A and B are shown apart, each in its own frame.
Chain A
Amino acid sequence: MACRITEYMKVEWIAPSLKATDKPSVLLEFATLVGSTRTDLDVREIYTRLMERELKASTGADHGVAIPHATLHDTSELMVAFGKSEVGVPFAALDNEDSQLFFVVLAPAKINPHQASYLQLISSICRLMRSQSLRERLLRAQTPAAIFEILKKEEDLKLAAPPTSSVT
């Protein structure tokens, strides 16, 4: 099942210019970004869960993309935040390149049958980010709204096209 990541994103969870320059501070910046918009979430809990996952194995993928993710007990919602770093962050990625584009996926520990699972979401992100042109457009975008638009348009396009294969 293909799912739309923009369905789980909010413009206020988009950071067009991350300040952090290393992995732990990137994760803290995201935890603060998402946690401070919600009363039911604890910044430190988000941060700890993300960091814990990261210490097991890096979520840095190819082409300067990283997808830090974690499950949370306090929420029943799937959430996706996005941020980019101008200078790049050493993220121990597969290809050893610094990561510039970050999708942070936070998922409820209890699976909600009405929502996509976070693994589906991550694979959607991976597929989407294979496009070099999309990566470049995202890197050029300046504002949260512009970034959101770019992602949404890309998804509209992809989903309008006939489905190539189905992912389970």
Chain B
Amino acid sequence: MQGQPISNGLVIGRLAKTGRTSSNKHVPLIIHTPDSEWQKYHDAQRKALQLVDELRRDAIEIQKSKKSLPTQARANETSDQELPEVMSSYTLLLTDEILSERIKDLVFGQSLDITSAVLQAFKDVRSVVESMGDQHIREKVLDLDACEELLLSSLSDSESLQTHQWSHLKGRIVVIQHPCPNDIIRFHQVGVAGLVSETGSHLSHAAILARSFNIPTVFGAEGILRMSSNGQQVILDAHEGKITINPSRTEQRKAEARRAVELMMQQKLKSSAQSVARTVDGQRIVVFANANGPVDARALKSSGAEGIGLLRTEFLHLNEHPAEQTSFIGTDEQLKVFFQLTAESISPGWATLRLLDCGGDKPYPPNNAMSMREKQNTSEGVFGLRGIRFLLAEQKLLELQLRALLRANTSGNIRILLPYITDVSEIRRVKAIAHSLWLDIPEDERGALHYPRFGAMVETPAAAQMLDHIAAECDFMSIGSNDLTQHYLCVERDNPNTQNLYSSFHPAVLRCIRSILEQQKHLDVSISLCGELASDPIATELLIGLGCVQFSCRASAIPLIKEIIRKTDVDEARRFAEGLLRLGDAEEIQQRLQLRYEELHARLLTAPGSRIRAS
């Protein structure tokens, strides 16, 4: 049986079905008054909010126990901050006025009992949300479901959310109808071995949670509840999205062998992650980490990162929950402290901080002219006032960031990366502004500071063509493969009509990357590659063949990428890449890379002492 892979891993175990059953059955009360019903709603709402709060606290606890770093408290509230975020979106929903007004109407106006009113109100809201059609918004329906369930279970005093009732799921491959984020947290707490759901999507909160807890997960396995029963043996292959119920002895043995290989691989990668990566013929390849939020330097270093190749600073300025103004870091003093902590923690490695990159298909920060215009629906499209263009238009914000970065560079390892460069004059202007800000810093403070280095993102066709001029103004450059793909292929990532055309393996994109990397030698600047392509293990050898010597990838991908580098021969990779670039078709290139990777994957395991093979 086939579903959508959500989170990696292969597990062999016993199946346990669970799910929401009680909340959908209810008998309307005959005797009730609107007042008593409304009171019940208030009690249920309070209970539900309490529960959300508990879950949120649990989530934070889990994070803390995951990374118990005593110092730099702020820098550590990190990577899976999605968790508390999910919970705060519940809080917002549960206290939503439109929702409670609608329930009030139904209770007082139509004399409905409270359970019916809640069901009706959620149904109304859901149909409005669903009619919006946007994929991201539709994910919110899942939050609605979760909140509805919370309210209903609080109303019926059901104990379905008590942990003790979940304990029988420990070590099991759990099968559910529908993934609710709060259920996923419970699953993690009791320690389920794997998770299969009939519905759910890759972008949902539930999927994010399953990934951040490393629970092997497959969604969209339609019909599995009907086809399976409790206690059956299952092989869950979350790499491929494949579920085998009641496997034969042979299937089981094969799965065990593959699982053994997987475990051995993890073990091996963990032990070699921190040493530097050289190719077979001795070429040193540097591997940096990308980060989207506050950085846990110890975790980055232990995954083998040699510095930060790209820290996106958007999270400091974008506030997804306008109700909570607190998450907005406003003053340059706060920014400075954050940048300084980050840079010092990762020293002596580079801390490459990218200036705010918003606009185009990325949202603007609140409270400025552009976000006002955005609200009035004058959409900018992909090629809008984006990245550096926006910063030069909103110079106050640019100055705020630059001043903080200049003052933060006590350890001398800060590099400032400019987003969405299309013209060399943009770099010159930013550098001029930075220099005048530098001179404004009191001399005694300046004495303890290092002037930072400047670099440009190469993510537009213009930048790729004007590389020599841009290089003359820069200390380093970074290829943004995601935007380069988008702009080279004239394909919007988020447009469902063109999504299937988006592929970084398109020969046009690869040829462009090759031409950029080829110029590296003459231009005397270092060029790294960030973006999804750098974290994709099937692309590593190809990229080395194209001349890439600096990768910046997702921290979790680093151990594997480093190991692939160690198995790669630069000359061979070059020949391999040349052959691929002669092909005209993205899909064919990707298939060949996949095949090549599978071969390599087998070779990665041929170390002394390992005789187990995945068959």
Which A residues are closer than 8 A to B by beta carbons?
A: 19, 21-25, 27-28, 42-45, 47-48, 51-52, 54-55, 85-90, 92, 98
Contacts and interface: CB of A to CB of B under 8 A. Distances in A.
Contacts of A25: 259, 263
Contacts of A21: 11, 13, 171-172, 193
B268 interface: yes
A152 B155 CA distance: 55
A23 B256 contact: yes
Contact of A47 (B252, B262, B264): B264
A45 B609 contact: yes
Contacts of A24: 256, 259-260, 262-263
| Residue in A28, A85, A87, A92 whose Cβ sees the most chain B Cβ within 10 Å | A87
B26 interface: no
Contacts of B267: 28, 43-44, 47
Nearest to A57: B253
Nearest to B253: A55
Contacts of A27: 260
Contacts of A19: 191
B249 interface: yes
Interface of B: 11-14, 170-172, 191, 193, 233, 249, 252-253, 256-257, 259-260, 262-264, 267-268, 607, 609-612
Nearest to A19: B191
A55 B610 CA distance: 13
Nearest to A56: B253
B172 A87 contact: yes
Contacts of A86: 170-171
| Residue in B11, B171, B259, B262 whose Cβ sees the most chain A Cβ within 10 Å | B171
Nearest to B170: A87
A87 B171 contact: yes
Contact of A44 (B191, B249, B257, B268): B268
B256 A54 contact: yes
Nearest to A31: B267
A92 B252 CA distance: 9
A72 B603 CA distance: 24
Nearest to B194: A21
A63 B257 CA distance: 25
Going nearest first, the 9 A-B pairs with the smallest beta carbon separation are A87-B171, A21-B171, A24-B260, A22-B12, A24-B259, A21-B193, A45-B609, A51-B260, A28-B263
Contacts of A48: 264, 609-612
Nearest to A45: B609
B340 to A, nearest CB: 38
Contact of A55 (B12, B256, B268): B256
Contacts of B610: 44, 48
B172 A22 contact: no
Contacts of B14: 88, 90, 98
A20 B360 CA distance: 47
A26 B233 CA distance: 17
B230 to A, nearest CB: 13
A88 B267 CA distance: 24
A19 B449 CA distance: 50
Nearest to A96: B233
A159 B263 CA distance: 41
Given A22-B259, A85-B171, 4 more contacts: A19-B191, A44-B268, A48-B612, A86-B170
Contact of A52 (B233, B249, B611): B611
A88 B256 CA distance: 16
A92 B264 contact: no
A22 B194 CA distance: 11
B609 A22 contact: no
Nearest to B257: A55
Contacts of B259: 22-25
A88 B171 CA distance: 8
9 contacts: A19-B191, A21-B193, A22-B11, A23-B256, A27-B260, A28-B267, A52-B611, A85-B171, A87-B172
Contacts of B233: 90
| Residue in A47, A51, A54, A98 whose Cβ sees the most chain B Cβ within 10 Å | A51
Contacts of A88: 14, 171
A27 B260 CA distance: 9
B231 to A, nearest CB: 10
Contacts of B607: 44
A114 B365 CA distance: 76
B13 A44 contact: no
B239 to A, nearest CB: 15
B22 to A, nearest CB: 25
B136 to A, nearest CB: 35
A141 B249 CA distance: 32
Contacts of B191: 19
Contacts of A89: 171
A59 B99 CA distance: 59
B13 to A, nearest CB: 5
A76 to B, nearest CB: 18
Contact of B12 (A28, A47, A85, A90): A90
Contacts of A45: 609
A71 B318 CA distance: 59
A25 B260 CA distance: 7
A154 B428 CA distance: 82
Contacts of A28: 263-264, 267
Given A48-B609, A55-B253, A87-B170, A22 B193 contact: yes
A98 B193 CA distance: 15
Contacts of A51: 256-257, 260, 612
Contacts of A47: 260, 263-264, 267
A47 B193 CA distance: 21
Contacts of B268: 44
A71 B305 CA distance: 38
A55 to B, nearest CB: 6
B128 to A, nearest CB: 43
Contacts of B262: 24
Contacts of A90: 12-14, 233, 252
A52 B612 contact: yes
A23 B256 CA distance: 7
